[in-house]
Structure 1
Amino acid sequence: MAAPRPPPARLSGVMVPAPIQDLEALRALTALFKEQRNRETAPRTIFQRVLDILKKSSRAVELACREPAQVDHLAASLQLITECFRCLRNACIECSVNQNSIRNLDTIGVAVDLILLFRELRVEQESLLTAFRCGLQFLGNIASRNEASQRVVWMHAFPELFLSCLNHPDKKIVAYSSMILFTSLSSERMKELEENLNIAIDVVEAHRKQPESEWPVALLDLTIAKIAGEEPLTKDDVPVFLSHAELVASAFVDQCRAVLHLTAEQPTGDEEALATIRLLDVLCEMTANTDLLGYLQVFPGLLERVIDLLRLIHAAGSDTTSIFSPCASIKAEGDITNVAEGFKSHLIRLIGNLCYKNKENQDKVSELDGIPLILDSCGIDDSNPFLTQWVVYAIRNLTEDNSRNQDLIAKMEEQGLADPSLLKKMGFEVEKRGDKLILKSASDTPQLVSTATLSVHRQWSLLPHHRGWDTVAP
């Protein structure tokens, strides 16, 4: 005679089989946890049962890692693992009690270990990818608005999980792991991140592959914090940041025109536009660092693309309704105007840095008719703080030890193409010596200017807190 089944457990008035021992029971529990009242009344023993299934199923994954031929026999285990993660993911939505109960069972450590095993399998089965994604979603939800859980996630996941996931070919895995990294950061953990620059490189590479994803974009700001910080780059930092510089410059060259989406009547691709602007910020800081400047000054296509973009932005600004207009009339709610603020200033600043003591780049700007464009950009513009100062800085770097560019500006003044009062305001004057016009500057020798010098830091609004993946079905 068969042993009697244990009586079912009661969860907020709904009968749940106990012990949980099959896929259908897990799915029923996952569905129950979509309701806030069920999450709030869930007994801790439920999560222990789910964890037991997760541990038992993970043994099949461990075996497949040791014996690759076993991968073909993972289907049933992967289904159970996926549903365990979905169940735990849903249980954590806006429920700190469940977050704490699940964390205290050491479920986070089990989940991270299992996710690392997924990466080790190196197969592209859809069932494996689904389990992988759900595992990351669970980590994201248990860390959401819960400092204690964030600390434990960071302890188990940093840096191995992020190094493993940020360069994964699956877009959702990259996005989810970026979100976990972003959610778990604190001032103390920021220092750990700054010390592990390989993750910063992976973040930029992830953004390059997926410019529409908001999480890698948000993490670009961490690069600015490191480069613009008070502590100089160490000898060990420089080689890593040179690789980083290549990724940033390449991404900017490839996608910088995405910022023009903001000129549309109904802007689209705002995430890509935001990414472009943050990439520009990173490049400005990188070119203010003498260890990185030389590499970026010769990066293929970078200077040309910056001048091209400045020309397009300047032309767009002639429309008084444009977001790039000096008197922009679009001041509606949202982040678009804040995103565009300072963009022209930073383009001109980058041109000035790229031309610092570099004759080839000075001449290239002249050949591309960039000097008249820069001079024409000088004026009062509430959307571009310190625009005149950056124009002065760029012109000084363009004309230092470059008689050709000096003659060009002098002739522009003589022909009425350059306002002499504007030149004087900028600290320049044209003097005629015989048949020759000389552009004179009363200023000091040009120097690289960092953001801190002119206090041109843009204020960014924080991304909204993640509210949980209650409806995600990867």
Structure 2
Amino acid sequence: MAAPRPGPGRLSGVLVAAPIPDLDALRALTALFKEPRNRETAPRNLFQRVLDILKKSSRTVELACRGPAPVDSVAASLQVITECFRCLRNACIECSSNQNTIRNLGMIGPAVDVVLLFRELRVEQELLLTAFRCGLQFLGNVASRNADSQAVVWTHAFPELFLSCLNHPDRKIVSYSSMILFSSLNAERLKDLEENLNIAIDVVDAHRRQPESEWPYLVIAEHFLRSPDMVQTLYANMSSRERVALLDVIITKISGEEPPPKDDIPVFLSHAELVASTFIEQCKMVLQLPSEPPAADEEVLAIVRLLDALCEMSTNIDLLSYLQICPGLLEAVIGLLRLIHTAGSDGTSIFCTNSNVRADGDVSSAVEGFRSHLIRLIGNLCYKNRENQDKVNDLDGIPLLLDSCKLDDNNPFVAQWAVYAIRNLTQGNSRNQDLLARLEEQGLADPAALAKMGFEVEKQGHRLVLRPTGGSPQP
């Protein structure tokens, strides 16, 4: 004679089947856990029962991975596993007591184990993906804002789960695994990533492939960028595409509505040192671009993005103070501008002034504005800095900047940035003002261009004087 079926259990005044013998009961429990009051009063034995069901169904999946198994049986077990994960996922939402109960019952390890089995399972794709996603969501929720659970998740998931998921073709799996990584990381665990660098590189590549996904971005912005050693190691070991993605995050952090807080400035100074030294070392590679640029010259694109990052960094007063004294940076920028200027005299060069060359690929697009950004950086480096103002003069950079006050299809706003740079070079610097006046007399400086800068040349006796017109420089 069969044992009597247990009567219904009660959860916050709502009847549920007990001891949750089937899929329908699990679904009912999942629905109940959408309500905060039900999550807060869930008994421990309820989760013990869910764990028992999860383990039982997981054994079916494990056997199926080892050899042939009835398709219907595997599919049924996968559905039950999926609903177990949904139930547990909902139970953990903003409920630390449930997170603690689930962790203390030892549920995190079996959950990770079954998720890893999904890599080997041959079953209907959508059914498998749904189970995979729900499992990752549960692991993310159980770790959210719970240091003890984060430690257990890290112990079981690192590194294998992340290596399996971060480069998965399914975008949601990539996003959810990034969520788990974001929730679990701390300064100590970053050291684990430095020893398993492929995981960190996979995160950066995930951001490159899915820039709209917040979790890979947050892992980089809130964890990686807080470690100069991590950023330096990453940059040295990534592809050019991945370097661009990393630099994009740095640029976004600096150029956001709120500047980096003062506490983060020492870290960003280290990033500025890396960006500047790399640009100085590699910047001349942009000259390798032919008149018809390759579709994907990724190394050049990375150099272009280094310049973008330097321009944004130089708008932050704390970072600018470092960049203005960075050995070799100003010389490298002026030298590259001169080489590009020379190359631009060749009508076949991609840097040709008034060129009709237009960008189709990422690299070609980035070349547009490259000259403008060089001039912008020169202007920033000379802002209220007499030593750099004089250095530009000594390097014969002022005539070079004056010659840039021309329209250039490939460099929107190049004239405006040249005006800005000249203004910064002459501010409080009579030596540079005198040079401009002499250049105008020799016909080497266009009076109209000087007027746009807010200056005019006046002859006082035997001396030419550059004086402000009283108006603001024109845009």
Shorter-chain TM-score category? 0.5 to 0.7
Cα deviation for residue 393 of structure 1 reads 0.6
| Alpha-carbon distance in 1 for matches of 2:221, 2:200 | 20
Which residue is 1:32 aligned to? Answer: none
Pair 1:383 & 2:410 matched? yes
Q: Using structure 2 for the length normalisation, give the TM-score.
A: 0.65
Kindly report which structure 2 residues correspond to 1:14-413, keeping only aligned pairs within 5 A, or say none: 18-21=63-66, 43=75, 88=119, 97-105=127-135, 113=155, 116=158, 136-142=162-168, 144-146=170-172, 150-158=175-183, 160=185, 163-164=190-191, 167-168=194-195, 174-182=200-208, 183=210, 186-187=213-214, 190=217, 194-196=221-223, 198-199=225-226, 201=228, 204-206=231-233, 208-210=235-237, 212-263=239-290, 265=292, 267=294, 270-331=297-358, 333-413=360-440
Corresponding letter in the other structure for 1:259: V
Contact 1:406 1:438 survives alignment (8 Å): yes
How much is the aligned-residue C-alpha RMSD, in angstroms? Answer: 4.1
| Alpha-carbon distance in 2 for matches of 1:212, 1:264 | 25
Which structure is larger by alpha-carbon Rg, 1 or 2?
A: 2
Report SS of the residue matched to 1:398. Answer: helix
- Runs of 5+ unmatched residues, structure 2: 1-60, 82-114, 140-151
Which residue is 2:39 aligned to? Answer: none
Distance 1:150 1:372, change over 3 A: same
Distance 1:259 1:202, change over 3 A: farther
Which deviations, in whole Å up to 9, do the C-alpha atoms of 1:57-110 show, x marking residues without a partner?
A: xxxxxxxxxxxxxxxxxxxxxxxxxxx979829979x95543322343459959
Cα deviation for residue 180 of structure 1 reads 3.5
Corresponding letter in the other structure for 1:213: S
| Alpha-carbon distance in 2 for matches of 1:86, 1:309 | 54
Cα deviation for residue 369 of structure 1 reads 1.1
| Alpha-carbon distance in 1 for matches of 2:204, 2:121 | 20
Cα deviation for residue 136 of structure 1 reads 4.7
- Runs of 5+ unmatched residues, structure 1: 1-15, 30-41, 50-83, 119-131, 447-453, 455-474
Cα deviation for residue 261 of structure 1 reads 2.9
| Alpha-carbon distance in 2 for matches of 1:86, 1:370 | 64
Report SS of the residue matched to 1:263. Answer: coil
| Alpha-carbon distance in 2 for matches of 1:330, 1:209 | 33
Which residue is 1:61 aligned to? Answer: none
Corresponding letter in the other structure for 2:179: W
Distance 1:403 1:165, change over 3 A: farther
Cα deviation for residue 188 of structure 1 reads 7.5
Report SS of the residue matched to 1:431. Answer: strand
Percent identical pairs in the alignment equals: 47
Contact 2:65 2:120 survives alignment (8 Å): no
Cα deviation for residue 326 of structure 1 reads 2.6
| Alpha-carbon distance in 1 for matches of 2:244, 2:359 | 23
Report SS of the residue matched to 1:177. Answer: helix
Higher relative contact order (CA 8 A, sep 6+): 1
Q: Using structure 1 for the length normalisation, give the TM-score.
A: 0.65
Aligned residues: 365
Cα deviation for residue 138 of structure 1 reads 2.1
| Alpha-carbon distance in 1 for matches of 2:362, 2:378 | 26
| Alpha-carbon distance in 1 for matches of 2:263, 2:232 | 20
